[in-house]
Structure 1
């Protein structure tokens, strides 16, 4: 659905999502929390379509849920009280990797500090609303499948009981030329000749999955009922007890926010409005007469629309993605974590320039697109 909103230059059509994704394209909690809260107050924001460079407007009229994606939510913690006063539901996809030794995530706080932030957030929101991601799993620079598993184990032991889900993915290096360039340019362990070795092959994936299975079984035996799932991985890993994940998840929304009748109605029907009290969902075939001729009955039956569960799958994501529909409000080339495997940054210079252009008061994360100034 769309709505007309008023901007500084006139009225425009805006998307009206039920779920905001903040954001797959950048780390809003780490770097743009003030901007996000300003846009909540304004009830709309804008972004630039990365393909045609045209502005896209998003109105918050119907928003019920915000999904935050982050590697460092600490700077955003100061906003949680204000966010909760808005009545919006929210949860975090918290990527907590350990690539400190290799320097693959150069601008993150120390691992121990990130673990402490995770603990603080989980104790406030509960284990279901802070999802632990070890994402992506990559090799190279001395990292073997066994080493990856040891790092997952150490973090898991520190987070015992503080999350209900671990989401993993395997580095997809071959599909992204800019990731290959970044790995070669920003590390000493990858060259053009060996850069694809960062992507675990079938044998390495099997070893990692078997290790994850054993970890999960151990933790469950100790009382931590942790689910392990993959993000946008097509392979069926059910033999290891590893599920396919939906990061923007109808199941999670039902579990955490079941008292929101309007949200539950949207998940059930694809419509946000609730039926009025006593309103019939389908008209009776026999509402106007005790006896209806057979031909008339068949005619009426043919006009009835059979209710079906809505298809809420987000068609804008990869085929193997299980997420339901949301609207992302982030921008590519704006995240200064500078993780070497990142597909959302084309280069450091562009990120630095976009950070320079950032205005917390602007509807756009990096200011209005140059072609539309």
Structure 2
């Protein structure tokens, strides 16, 4: 079973003490965001977890613990560093602060377990194509030796994104082509393997590969084991990722990013997080008498190691 620690909210940045408690106790509860009375019990013991899949914009809160976690679990760290400032990502560390933290993370867990996320790419009067390419190169030059690859995607124009960011300028085909040419050129310059996420468009002619962010190839490269060929699944169209179980909760990320997919409105988490209790198995709140607690069967995705004559 792959445990997702970051798709619904930035657990690493804001809820590391809770996560450490869940790891120590060996389980977590996860409330179904659509059928609220259904709560799933997920095992977090090393023997039941194929991978702890992290995704965060700030690994500083967990740095002193990540080495110990890495010794017990297979981990994969998606680290998001974008071109945006406090006007769009109000509570996210600066680019240079993020690079400094990434350097430390890479020293601890190694580059094969770190993916640089440069997404979503969106345009505004301030964040032009030129600004993106200038910033992408600035970051790539510094961190390409510290990560296994770069993953990017263009912004999905959900209704709530349009409402929260009226200043977004729609990407034209010309804008996309200039971005793709520039990202491909910069990636080649710094020997950085760069790929897309959740798209059916082919960009190989730009030196940009098609893939997902949690595929067999990426996991096997990170962990030096063989993963089963299971059918990809995901909430986003064209997702190629291996299925995972999320232990987070929507509307609980405090970064206040204006383009956020997981928060309905940027200010909602300020009140929702009052429900957070570090000792609770749930990220938000506690189990209710009316809840339906469901034990999730552990599905192992790592192939058993084959015994050979050299093992005797």
Common fold by TM > 0.5: yes
Gaps of 5+ in 1: 1-17, 185-189, 220-224, 269-309
CA distance in 1, matches of 2:156, 2:254: 21
1:324 aligns with 2:232: no
Deviations 1:120-177 (A, max 9, x none): 111222222111111011100322212111110111112141112111111112xx11
> Scaled by the length of structure 2, what TM-score is found?
0.87
Match of 2:148 among 164, 175, 184: 164
Gaps of 5+ in 2: 292-312
Instruction: Show the counterpart of 2:201.
Output: 235
- The SS at the match of 2:165 is helix
Runs of 4+ in 1 over 3 A off after TM superposition: 369-373
- The SS at the match of 1:92 is strand
Task: Mark the structure with the bigger radius of gyration.
Answer: 1
- The SS at the match of 1:57 is strand
Match of 2:84 among 93, 99, 106: 99
Instruction: Show the counterpart of 1:153.
Output: 137
CA distance in 2, matches of 1:30, 1:371: 31
CA distance in 2, matches of 1:207, 1:151: 14
Q: Cα distance, 1:247 vs. partner?
A: 1.3
Deviations 1:328-352 (A, max 9, x none): 1111000000000001001244311
CA distance in 2, matches of 1:65, 1:311: 15
Q: Cα distance, 1:116 vs. partner?
A: 0.3
Match of 1:248 among 214, 217, 232: 214
Match of 1:144 among 125, 128, 137: 128
1:353 aligns with 2:274: no
Instruction: Show the counterpart of 1:281.
Output: none
- The SS at the match of 1:133 is strand
Q: Cα distance, 1:252 vs. partner?
A: 2.1
Q: Cα distance, 1:370 vs. partner?
A: 6.7
> Scaled by the length of structure 1, what TM-score is found?
0.73
1:204 aligns with 2:175: yes
Give the structure, 1 or 2, with the largest relative contact order (CA under 8 Å, sep 6 or more): 2
- The SS at the match of 1:247 is coil
Correspondence 1:1-373 to 2 at 5 A:
18-54=1-37, 55-61=39-45, 62-85=48-71, 87-100=72-85, 103-173=87-157, 176-184=158-166, 190=167, 195=168, 197=169, 199-219=170-190, 225-258=191-224, 264=226, 267-268=227-228, 310-314=229-233, 316-368=234-286, 372=290
Identify the range of structure 1 (26-35 vs 238-247) with the bigger mean alpha-carbon deviation: 238-247
- The SS at the match of 2:123 is coil
Identify the range of structure 1 (124-133 vs 26-35) with the bigger mean alpha-carbon deviation: 124-133
| Contact 2:140/2:187 (8 A) holds in 1 | no
| Contact 1:244/1:322 (8 A) holds in 2 | no
